[in-house]
Amino acid sequence: MKFKLDYNYTIQTDLFSFQFQPGDRKEALVRQTLGNATIYMPKNFDFSPAQAQEWANKILAGTLKEHGKIILNNRTLKIAQAHNFSINRICVKDISTRWGSCSSLKNVNLSIWLLLLPSHLIDYVIKHELTHLNHLNHSPEFWHALDDICGGKGHAKRLDKELDDFAKTQLQPRIG
Ligand SMILES: [Zn+2]
């Protein structure tokens, strides 16, 4: 996933914040704590060349991966524990075609781009994938089991739609 990045681009969710700031050094400088990252760009940095976009997007993806590995891992372990799912391994990767997936080996794969979502939608994706550990399809039984851990009847499909709408409206502009 690539975005058109500049000093106006920010991520502000209840879990994660990211921004670029003009810097005054020759090289970029990262200031971060878990869940917050500010990238101070090199002095007089110009975002307009394609190469600059490429570089800034690399910084963004790298930062999301670093934070996602901790934040998404912790959330997944917590949710799995609360609802008695046993998982083998959690992988947080730069995948842009889907939010998450899981395998019959009980491995859960999550996209670093989940960090663009508010926490209730991240939790929905995690619960969706964990439910697939027991139901490897989207059968009525799957939705029923997912409803059970999403607050009750109809909640899962409502969250699914919210996730869809969010992706359609909020993840623009994408450039690839
Ligand atoms: Zn699914």
The rounded Å distance from CA 77 to ligand 1 centre is 19
The rounded Å distance from CA 97 to ligand 1 centre is 13
Residue labelled with tokens 């799957």: 142
- 81-94 pLDDT, tens per residue? 999 999 999 999 99
Residue 173 pLDDT more than 60?
no
Residue 174 pLDDT more than 60?
no
- 53-64 pLDDT, tens per residue? 999 999 999 999
CA distances from 105 to 101, 133, 139, 169 (A): 12, 9, 20, 34
Q: What is the pLDDT of residue 168?
A: 85
The rounded Å distance from CA 101 to ligand 1 centre is 8
CATH number of the domain at 10-170, please?
Answer: 3.30.2010.10
Give the confidence band of 175 by pLDDT, cuts at 50, 70, 90. Answer: very low
- 90-115 pLDDT, tens per residue? 999 999 889 999 988 999 999 999 99
Q: What is the pLDDT of residue 172?
A: 59
- For residue 3, the SS3 value is strand
Give the confidence band of 79 by pLDDT, cuts at 50, 70, 90. Answer: very high
- Six token digits for residue 12: 């502000």
Residues 6+ apart with CB under 8 A from 87: 76, 77, 80, 106, 107, 108, 130, 133
Q: What is the pLDDT of residue 176?
A: 43
The rounded Å distance from CA 115 to ligand 1 centre is 19
Q: What is the pLDDT of residue 149?
A: 98
Q: What is the pTM of this model?
A: 0.93
Asked if residue 28 lies in contact with residue 8, where contact means CB atoms within 8 angstroms, the answer is no
Q: What is the pLDDT of residue 5?
A: 96
* Cis preceding-peptide flag for 173 (omega within 30 of 0): yes
The rounded Å distance from CA 125 to ligand 1 centre is 9
Q: What is the pLDDT of residue 97?
A: 86
CA distances from 117 to 15, 56, 108, 166 (A): 9, 20, 18, 8
The rounded Å distance from CA 144 to ligand 1 centre is 13
